[in-house]
Copies of this chain bind each other. A is one copy, B any other.
Amino acid sequence: MTARDFSFRCLNVDASCSARRSVLQTHHGSVDLPAFMPVGTCGTVKGLTTQMVLATGAQMILGNTYHLALRPGAEIVADLGGLHGFSGWAGPILTDSGGFQIFSLAQNAKINEQAATFRSHIDGRLFELSPERAIEIQELLGSDIAMVLDHVVPLPAPAALVQEACQRTVRWAERCRKANRLATQAQFAIVQGGLDPDQRLACADQLVRLDFEGYAIGGLSVGESADERNRTLDVTCPALPADKPRYLMGVGTPSDILEAISRGVDLFDCVMPTRNGRNAMAFTDGGPVRLRNAAHQRDPRPLEEHCPCPACRHSRAYLRHLFQSGEMLGPILLTAHNLTYYQRLLAESRLAIAAGRFAAFAAEKLAGWARGGETPEDPA
Interface residues of A (CB under 8 A from B): 42-44, 46-51, 67, 71-72, 76, 79-81, 86-88, 297-298, 300, 310, 313-315, 317-318, 321-322, 324-325, 327-329, 331-333
Contact = CB atoms under 8 A, between A and B. Distances in A.
A323 to B, nearest CB: 11
A326 to B, nearest CB: 9
Given A47-B332, A333-B49, A71 B317 contact: no
A88 B297 CA distance: 17
7 contacts: A44-B329, A46-B328, A49-B310, A72-B321, A76-B297, A86-B318, A328-B332
Contacts of A313: 50, 88
A314 B88 contact: yes
Contacts of A71: 321, 324-325
A302 to B, nearest CB: 11
Contacts of A72: 297, 317, 321, 324
Contacts of A314: 88
Contacts of A297: 72, 76
A365 B313 CA distance: 39
Contacts of A87: 318
Given A43-B321, A43-B325, A332-B332, 14 more contacts: A42-B321, A43-B318, A44-B327, A46-B329, A47-B329, A47-B332, A49-B310, A71-B321, A72-B297, A72-B317, A80-B318, A86-B318, A328-B328, A328-B331
A329 B43 CA distance: 10
A76 B321 CA distance: 10
A42 B327 contact: yes
Contact of A48 (B43, B50, B76, B329): B329
Nearest to A324: B71
In this complex, the member of A47, A88, A297, A314 whose beta carbon has the largest number of chain B beta carbons within 10 angstroms is A314
Which of A44, A50, A88 lies at the interface centre, i.e. has the most chain B CB atoms within 10 A of its CB? A44
Contacts of A318: 43, 80, 86-88
Contacts of A300: 79-81
A68 to B, nearest CB: 9
A44 B322 contact: yes
A360 B331 CA distance: 44
Contacts of A328: 46-47, 328, 331-332
